[in-house]
Amino acid sequence: MIRIRRPPLPEPPRSRMAECTCEIALAPEPETKARQLWKHTTVRRHVHVPLRDLLADMAAGRERCMYCGDNQGTDIDHFEPIDRHPMRAFDWTNHVLACSLCNSHLKGAAFPLDEDGKPLLIDPTVEDPTPHLRLILAVGMYHPLTPRGQATIELFDLNRGLLAKGRIHAFHITKACVAQWASATAQGDHEAAAHWAAVVNEQPMADVVQAMLHQALDPAAAVLFEDDPQLLAHLREPQLRSALLIQ
């Protein structure tokens, strides 16, 4: 899971979503009204489609799920579920691009809270997940750093076998691409260097390369990359970091 930057909501979706929110506020049963509007054919055409396009542009790689980072994002998830807060059904800041597995099968209407009633799940469009969970690159699995990290890993099953294998694969692909980038850069072949950077940026599991870049500046980086000091040197190159690092 990586930080995703959310742009301002443009017109006309902004006005249409504001109108829907007003209708929900005036309804005697807000949750029922919110669900009716969300499923309405006109809303699907004039709200869902532009929303989906905006979220796809925000997502890493080729429209990857903002939770697992592996599957294609196909669903618009309400981070805070409609049954908990129907007034946020058409709140742009409450929409996340998710795959059907993460949205329908794993998260659903779940919204765990801590003892103080604050959300435990990490919304990657609101905050950087890095302080809460750490990716162990060699095994492709997350280690929780906080209770919120633990809750997020568990609810989205971020350490399931297929994801771990996918991250290990992405780690090896990224290492190979970085080596090719370094070779092209050394030869002054900027077109080839840009190609290898694009290959990295377009692959699934964007959390892998982001973890590599962050951990390359870790005080323990020499130990973390002791098997490949040349890779560590490349990951610290400002030019490569500029091409790959999501700010």
Please give the structure tokens belonging to residue 246: 């999501």
Nearest CA among 7, 13, 78, 88 for reference residue 44: 13
Say if 111 falls within a structural domain.
yes
The total of structural domains in the chain comes to 2
Whether residues 20 and 99 fall in one domain: yes
Say if 135 falls within a structural domain.
no
Say if 194 falls within a structural domain.
yes
Q: Which domain covers residue 183, as residue numbers?
A: 161-244
Whether residues 109 and 169 fall in one domain: no
Q: CA–CA separation, 84 vs 213, rounded Å?
A: 37
Whether residues 74 and 26 fall in one domain: yes
Whether residues 150 and 184 fall in one domain: no
Each of the 247 residues of the chain gets a pLDDT tens digit; together they read 999 999 999 999 999 999 999 999 999 999 999 999 999 988 888 999 999 999 999 998 889 999 999 989 999 999 999 999 999 999 999 999 999 999 999 999 999 999 999 999 999 999 999 999 999 999 999 999 999 999 999 999 999 999 999 999 999 999 999 999 999 999 999 999 999 999 999 988 999 999 999 999 999 999 999 999 999 999 999 999 999 988 6
Q: CA–CA separation, 66 vs 59, rounded Å?
A: 6
Place of tokens 């599991």: 205
Whole-number CA gyration radius for the chain: 20
Say if 34 falls within a structural domain.
yes
Please give the structure tokens belonging to residue 115: 């003892």
Whether residues 124 and 168 fall in one domain: no
Whether residues 236 and 202 fall in one domain: yes
Provide the 8-state DSSP code for 44: I
Say if 136 falls within a structural domain.
no
Q: CA–CA separation, 236 vs 231, rounded Å?
A: 9
CA–chain centroid gap for 130, Å, is 12
Q: CA–CA separation, 150 vs 229, rounded Å?
A: 31
Say if 170 falls within a structural domain.
yes
Q: Are 159 and 141 in contact (CB under 8 A)?
A: yes
